[in-house]
Structure formats: C-alpha cells, structure tokens
C-alpha cells in the first residue's frame, strides 16, 4: 500500500498539472519510501492492530503514522538527492492516499464481520432487544460477531426513537407492544439491554415477557459490572436480585485504594459468603498481604483456590483455625502484624442458635473478644466488626450476641489506639443459609415454598454491595462508630417467593404452592436498623448512615463478663442465657402466641 500510495500521489500530481512524468515505479526512491514508512508503522504499533476490531482510534493512528512517515521520507530524500525528482505536492497527497488505502480495507472488513455477512444464516434465534441505548448498540455488535442471534427489532419507551434505525434495525414501538410484536414477528427470545433499569422497570419488563410467554435474558446490572463479577456483554438469566431495586453503589475508590492498598489485611471468616467476597474486593486494590482465618476446611480451600486463580500476584496466607482459640488468634497476629482487620466470622442462623446459646455466645462474643484483644495488643490500625440489623432490639440469641460484641468493641475503642468500627446491615441475597437458596431448592423440587408469615419483611442487599460498603465505611470511620448501611425499602418475603417462582416460568398458587408455617423462635415480623436512642445521621456517603453510639458501662465488662465466660466454659446454658439478658437489657423474646404456626397450612390463591 505504501508503494501504491507513493505512485498514485505522483499520478495525481501530474493529472492536476500535466507534463512529463519523471516517476518510475521501480526505483531507489520508492524503496527508500517503503523501508522508512514500514519502520514508522512498526514504531507506532500499526502492525499490532486487529482488523476485526478496527475503530476510530485505529484510523487516527494510521493518519498519524502516515504523516510522520511523510516527514521522515522527506528528510531522507533531502539527504539522498535534495528531492530533485519529487514534486512538493506529492508530500501532501501521499499521506491522504496512504490513509485511505490502509483504513478503507480495515473498515470494510469490520463492517462485513459486524453485519454478519456470512454464508449461512440457519439456526439463529430471532430475538427482540428491549432498550435502544448504548448498551443495545454494544450488544448488537457482539451478537453480529458471534452470529448466534438474528436481531429483528428494538423496543424502547422513548417515543422520539420510534421508527429510528440502529445498525439498520428498526426501533419498532414502546415496551407495552411486546406481546403483540412477539406474536407478529415470531420472536423466540427477548434480550433486556438496560443495565441501569430500576426495580419497577425490571419488574415491568419481566412481567411483559411472561405475558408474551417468551424466554428472556438480561445484561448484568451496573453494580455487577463495577464489582467485576461479570463481563459487560455477558447475557444471563434474570435473577431475583435484578428485581429488588438495588442501585449501583458509587464508592470513593481513590480513598479506599489510598487507605487500604499496600496494607497487610486480615479477614476472619474469609471463607463465608460476605468474607469471601470481601477478600475478592480487597485483592483488587493490591494489599501488601491478605491473610484469611477460617474454621471451615472446605470454605478455606475454595476461597484460596479462587483467589490464587484470579489474582496470581497476590501475597496470600490462609489459616485453618477458630477465633474461639485465643492462641490461634495470637499466632496469626504475631506472624503478620496486620494493619487492618475485617472481622466477618460469626454464627448467624437465628432459629438454630436459639437452642445453642452457649456456643452462640462462645463464638460471637468471646471469639470477637479474642480477635479484638489481639488487634489491640498488636497495634492494628483499624478493626471493622461486621454486625447485623438483628442486633437492634434483639429478639433472638444471635442478635443479642452480636449486640454484645458491638458493645465490647465500643468499650475497647475508648482505651485503645486501634480504631474499632462497627458496620451493621440486614440480610444478604444468596448468602449461605439465607432464604433465597432455600426457596430455589424448594422450587426445584416442585414446591411448596414455605413462608413463615404473610406480613414478614426483611431488608436485603447483594453480597458485592455489602462488601464494597464495608470497605467504604472502614476508610471513613474514626473509631467507636456504628455505621448502618442503607438497605433501601424492606421486602415482603411473600413477594420474594412469588417473584422467584415466576422467574422459573411457573405461577405461584397454581404451579407451585406457597404455604405459611408461622414465625420461628426468635424471629420478628420486621427488622430494625436503629435503636430508638441511636439518632441516625447522614455521612459523606449516601448509602452509609451513622448511628449515635449509646454509652457503654465499663463495669459490664468486668464482673458480669467474667461470670458469663465462666458459665460458657462450664456449659451452664441457663446461666449463660440469664447473663446475656443482663448484659443486653433490650434483649426480649417474641411472644409465644406470635411464634406458633398458623392454624392450618394455607394454599395461596393466584395473584394474592
């Protein structure tokens, strides 16, 4: 192309001003131009570009390389023969012709590939895309590269787009026309290309697809893209978290990286649902070392395997051990001298712990004390206790133990150089032992789906969102605070069950029953995020609130705490329970008449 462009530039010059053409296609001059221009192309990286993905930056690079090559050629020809045989106009025509000759084939090749101009079109599904924005544009490009689908049209609620075309494909109508369009055009699948869709918007699109009886997939939500959990154009089935309206979390990543990268970080319970995701998020910001303490052998194996595969350069140390073993805690702290500790290890299963008060206190209270005391003893900079909304006016043993752990860390903060920070939030979708995996298993078996009470509500957030906000709270706390994560609006568990059933293509009450079993011991109808005396205040981050800490009586952590420890060691469960209620005065049981099951297992009517 260089040789051809140099010759065409001469021809163009003599077409504009006819005369004798002194140019010879095979000459030393042409060889000099080809060699020097080739070196410039190599130096500017032109040979590393892939024609398949040619874009405007590639065309700009071609133009830059052509102009730079022209200057180098001109300088060389001045030295060679003082440019006696080259008209000056050639140096203006040459880079333009060369840019066209190099850029044109690349663009044509990409257009050919992007528009799916292949010999066979058989076997492709006819799809309809919901949304006609930038994500839809990227999705169509990806579809045409893969050649798996035939995009028939778009639907978008913006009336100004109706009738417009994207990649030659028409925006047919608004979303409400989906059932009619599906039937008229023989649509086999719907692709939802609106990552920023809100809870009501996603619910509406899913409902329209269900009404049209057509399968549907969606692009990842913005939060999944930010957290790095999914590639941008990865189509997936709509999951329950897509319908619960969790907005994308905007984090101060600069501050998080500044405060946490380059630090030795310890995560207790690092193999659990929150702990493992927290480890993954922390690994992204390049800590000096990540240390994990986990008592489950399988969980520790899994988190280590995944972290080493995803972050091969991460300095990682894992320990199989129990936070209830003070010697284990001391060994880990002495070996690595962590600068930041995220304490995620805890027992959390509410009904189970109602009958395991001794072990709940041993793990959640004295295990926390072991880790917190070690952090104080070895001069840790920041200690983050991961707590729960069940610690507010607790009605169960689990909540009471977490509240006592909160109080211990607040008390220790008053005399320690370590910043002790508590982060409190509600239920986490798809965490181990949560209601979502239980419902999924019940739906796979064909039902029934068991709901404790038709009016029971819970706060929910996703695992990546919780993990990221924990990191944000860690870098903005000064010590002694209780940060409460914004959980949005509480979700009725009945609604959750209905939506999960519908996402499998079934109808609640018709294909799969929902039955009510009554609240279990220790459960509330609704959870609270703040105690009445904890005045809520906003912080610099819109999704993190500050609960005003209640005063902690230092006397509680002397004689009563010692008696509690003695009762735990002696396995005196009655005394443990009695002292737990003394140390957490707001701990009160749910009245028995609320806990008992419903008079009869009830079938839910369709649409109820």
69-92 tens-digit pLDDT: 888 888 887 777 777 667 777 788
> Is there a domain that residue 519 lies in?
no
Q: Do 230 and 283 fall into the same domain?
A: no
Query: Of 440, 399, 408, whose CA–CA distance to 523 is shortest?
Result: 399
Q: Do 195 and 320 fall into the same domain?
A: no
- pLDDT tens across 307-330, in order? 999 999 999 999 999 999 999 999
The rounded mean pLDDT for the chain is: 80
Give the end of a domain, one of 184, 208, 238.
238
Section 419-445 average pLDDT: 79
Left (φ > 0), alpha (ψ -120 to 50) or beta: where does 130 sit? beta
pLDDT confidence tier of residue 599, bands split at 50, 70 and 90: very low
Q: From CA 428, how far away is CA 434, in angstroms rounded?
A: 7
Q: Do 308 and 380 fall into the same domain?
A: yes
Are the C-beta atoms of 481 and 552 separated by less than 8 Å?
no
pLDDT confidence tier of residue 339, bands split at 50, 70 and 90: very high
pLDDT confidence tier of residue 590, bands split at 50, 70 and 90: low
Q: Name the DSSP letter for residue 119.
A: S
Query: Of 140, 114, 138, 111, whose CA–CA distance to 128 is shortest?
Result: 140
240 pLDDT above the threshold of 80: no
The CA angle 275-281-285, to the nearest 5 degrees, is 135
> Is there a domain that residue 35 lies in?
yes
424 pLDDT above the threshold of 50: yes
Angle between helices 435-444 and 493-503 (to 10 degrees): 40
> Is there a domain that residue 57 lies in?
yes
Q: Do 339 and 466 fall into the same domain?
A: yes
> Is there a domain that residue 497 lies in?
no
b/e for 355-385, b at 16 or more Cβ within 10 A?
ebbbbbbbbbbbbbbbbbbbbbebebebbbb
Section 375-383 average pLDDT: 95
Higher pLDDT among residues 167 and 551, named by residue:
167
Are the C-beta atoms of 206 and 216 separated by less than 8 Å?
yes
Q: From CA 33, how far away is CA 568, in angstroms rounded?
A: 87
Report the 10 Å Cβ neighbour count for 132.
Answer: 26
Q: From CA 323, how far away is CA 372, in angstroms rounded?
A: 10
pLDDT confidence tier of residue 290, bands split at 50, 70 and 90: very high
E strand or H helix at 343: strand 340-343
Q: Do 215 and 137 fall into the same domain?
A: yes
The full DSSP string for 390-454 is GGSS--SHHHHHHHHHHHHHHHHHTT-SSEEEEEEE-EETT-TTSHHHHHHHHHHTT-PEEES-T
Section 339-363 average pLDDT: 93
Higher pLDDT among residues 537 and 16, named by residue:
537
Higher pLDDT among residues 352 and 291, named by residue:
291
Section 428-457 average pLDDT: 79
- pLDDT tens across 81-137, in order? 777 667 777 788 888 888 888 888 877 776 665 554 443 445 678 899 998 888 888
Those residues whose C-beta lies under 8 Å from the C-beta of residue 106, and which sit 6 or more positions away, are 49, 51, 54, 58, 59
597 pLDDT above the threshold of 50: no
255 pLDDT above the threshold of 60: yes
Q: What's the domain count of the chain? A: 3
Q: Do 147 and 186 fall into the same domain?
A: yes
Give the end of a domain, one of 114, 145, 180.
114
Backbone angles phi, psi at 128, to 5 degrees: -120, 135
Question: Measured between alpha carbons, how far is residue 258 from residues 68, 226, 255, 291, 347 in Å?
Answer: 41, 18, 5, 19, 32
The full DSSP string for 217-230 is EEPPPHHHHHHTSS
Q: From CA 523, how far away is CA 586, in angstroms rounded?
A: 15
Q: Please report the pLDDT score of residue 508 as a whole number.
A: 82
Query: Of 342, 238, 237, 338, whose CA–CA distance to 280 is shortest?
Result: 342
The full DSSP string for 233-247 is T--B---GGGGTT-P
277 pLDDT above the threshold of 70: yes
51 pLDDT above the threshold of 70: no
Report the 10 Å Cβ neighbour count for 510.
Answer: 13
Q: Do 66 and 213 fall into the same domain?
A: no
- pLDDT tens across 514-551, in order? 888 887 776 777 666 656 555 677 667 766 777 766 66
pLDDT confidence tier of residue 227, bands split at 50, 70 and 90: very low
Give the highest mean pLDDT range of 47-61, 361-375, 478-492: 361-375
Higher pLDDT among residues 181 and 143, named by residue:
181
pLDDT confidence tier of residue 226, bands split at 50, 70 and 90: very low
> Is there a domain that residue 454 lies in?
no
Higher pLDDT among residues 432 and 176, named by residue:
176
Q: Please report the pLDDT score of residue 487 as a whole number.
A: 65
> Is there a domain that residue 140 lies in?
yes
Q: Please report the pLDDT score of residue 225 as a whole number.
A: 46
- Give the range among 283-292, 465-474, 513-522, 538-547 with minimum mean pLDDT: 538-547
172 pLDDT above the threshold of 70: yes
% the chain with pLDDT above 90: 27
- pLDDT tens across 26-40, in order? 777 778 888 888 888
Backbone angles phi, psi at 4, to 5 degrees: -65, -40
pLDDT confidence tier of residue 432, bands split at 50, 70 and 90: low
Helix extents (H) in 228-367: 253-260, 273-284, 297-310, 326-336, 350-354, 357-361
Q: Please report the pLDDT score of residue 604 as a whole number.
A: 37
Question: Measured between alpha carbons, how far is residue 304 from residues 261, 336, 466, 475 in Å?
Answer: 20, 18, 21, 25
Section 341-353 average pLDDT: 92
% the chain with pLDDT above 70: 80
Burial of residue 133, with CB atoms counted within 10 A of its CB: 0-12 exposed, 13-18 middle, 19 or more buried: middle
E-strand stretches of 436-558: 449-451, 457-458, 460-461, 482-485, 491-492, 514-516, 536-538, 544-547
pLDDT confidence tier of residue 16, bands split at 50, 70 and 90: low
> Is there a domain that residue 508 lies in?
no
Higher pLDDT among residues 466 and 584, named by residue:
584
Q: Please report the pLDDT score of residue 478 as a whole number.
A: 81
Q: Do 339 and 260 fall into the same domain?
A: yes
Question: Measured between alpha carbons, how far is residue 309 from residues 290, 300, 305, 313 in Å?
Answer: 15, 14, 6, 10
Q: Name the DSSP letter for residue 524.
A: -
Query: Of 519, 527, 528, 352, whose CA–CA distance to 451 is shortest?
Result: 519
User: Residue 136 maps to which CATH number?
Assistant: 3.40.50.720
Section 148-164 average pLDDT: 88
Tell me which residue range forms the domain holding 110.
Answer: 2-114
606 pLDDT above the threshold of 50: no
Q: Please report the pLDDT score of residue 475 as a whole number.
A: 84
> Is there a domain that residue 452 lies in?
no
Q: Do 227 and 296 fall into the same domain?
A: no
Q: Do 234 and 294 fall into the same domain?
A: no
pLDDT confidence tier of residue 18, bands split at 50, 70 and 90: low
Find the distance separating the first CA and the last CA of the chain, reported in whole Å.
71
Q: Do 78 and 141 fall into the same domain?
A: no
Q: From CA 78, how far away is CA 125, in angstroms rounded?
A: 62
Q: Do 101 and 136 fall into the same domain?
A: no
């Amino acid at each position: 192309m260089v040789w051809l462009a140099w010759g065409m530039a001469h021809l163009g010059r003599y077409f504009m001003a006819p005369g004798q053409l002194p140019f010879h296609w095979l000459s030393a001059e042409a060889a000099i131009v080809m060699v020097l221009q080739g070196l410039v192309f190599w130096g500017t990286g032109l040979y590393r570009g892939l024609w398949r993905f040619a874009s405007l930056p590639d065309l700009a690079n071609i133009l830059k390389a052509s102009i730079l090559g022209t200057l180098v050629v001109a300088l060389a020809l001045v030295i060679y023969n003082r440019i006696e045989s080259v008209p000056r106009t050639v140096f203006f025509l040459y880079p333009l012709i060369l840019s066209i000759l190099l850029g044109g084939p690349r663009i044509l090749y990409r257009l050919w590939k992007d528009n799916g101009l292949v010999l066979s079109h058989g076997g492709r599904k006819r799809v309809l895309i919901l949304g006609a924005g930038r994500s839809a544009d990227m999705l169509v490009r990806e579809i045409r590269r893969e050649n798996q689908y035939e995009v028939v049209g778009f639907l978008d609620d913006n009336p100004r787009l109706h009738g417009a075309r994207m990649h030659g494909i028409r925006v047919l109508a608004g979303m409400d026309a989906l059932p009619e369009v599906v039937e008229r055009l023989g649509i086999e699948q719907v692709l939802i290309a609106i990552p920023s869709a809100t809870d009501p918007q996603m619910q509406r699109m899913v409902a329209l697809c269900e009404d049209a009886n057509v399968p549907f997939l969606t692009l990842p939500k913005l939060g999944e893209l930010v957290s790095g959990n999914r590639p941008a154009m990865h189509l997936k089935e709509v999951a329950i978290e897509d319908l619960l309206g969790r907005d994308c979390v905007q984090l101060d990543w600069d501050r998080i990286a500044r405060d946490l990268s380059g630090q030795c970080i310890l995560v207790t319970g690092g193999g659990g649902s929150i702990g493992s995701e927290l480890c993954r998020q922390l690994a992204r910001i390049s800590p000096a070392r990540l240390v994990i303490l986990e008592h489950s052998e399988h969980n520790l194996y899994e988190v280590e395997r995944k972290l080493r595969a995803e972050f091969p350069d991460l300095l990682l140390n894992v320990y199989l051990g129990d936070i209830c073993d003070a010697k284990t805690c001391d060994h880990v702290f002495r070996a690595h001298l962590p600068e930041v500790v995220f304490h995620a290890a805890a027992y959390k299963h509410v009904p189970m712990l109602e009958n395991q008060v001794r072990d709940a206190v041993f793990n959640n209270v004295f295990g926390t004390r072991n880790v917190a005391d070690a952090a104080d003893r070895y001069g840790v900079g920041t200690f983050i206790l991961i707590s729960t909304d069940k610690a507010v006016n607790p009605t169960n043993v689990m909540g009471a133990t977490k509240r006592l752990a909160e109080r211990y860390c607040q008390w220790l903060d008053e005399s320690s150089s370590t910043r002790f920070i508590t982060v409190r939030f509600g239920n986490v979708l798809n965490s181990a032992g949560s209601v979502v995996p239980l419902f999924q298993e019940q739906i796979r078996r064909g039902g029934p789906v068991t709901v404790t009470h038709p009016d029971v509500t819970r706060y929910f957030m996703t695992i990546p969102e919780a993990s990221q906000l924990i990191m944000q709270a860690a870098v903005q706390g000064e010590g002694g605070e209780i940060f409460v994560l914004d959980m949005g609006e509480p979700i009725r568990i009945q609604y959750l069950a209905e939506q999960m059933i519908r996402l499998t293509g079934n109808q609640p009450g018709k294909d799969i029953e929902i039955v009510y079993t009554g609240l279990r011991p220790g459960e509330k109808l609704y959870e609270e995020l703040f105690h009445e005396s904890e005045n809520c205040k906003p912080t610099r981050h819109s999704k993190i609130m500050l609960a005003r800490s209640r005063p902690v009586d230092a006397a509680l952590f002397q004689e009563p705490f010692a008696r509690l420890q003695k009762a735990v060691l002696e396995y005196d469960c009655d005394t443990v329970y009695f002292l737990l209620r003394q140390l957490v005065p707001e701990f009160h049981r749910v009245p028995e008449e609320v806990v008992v099951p419903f008079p009869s297992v009830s079938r839910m009517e369709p649409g109820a």
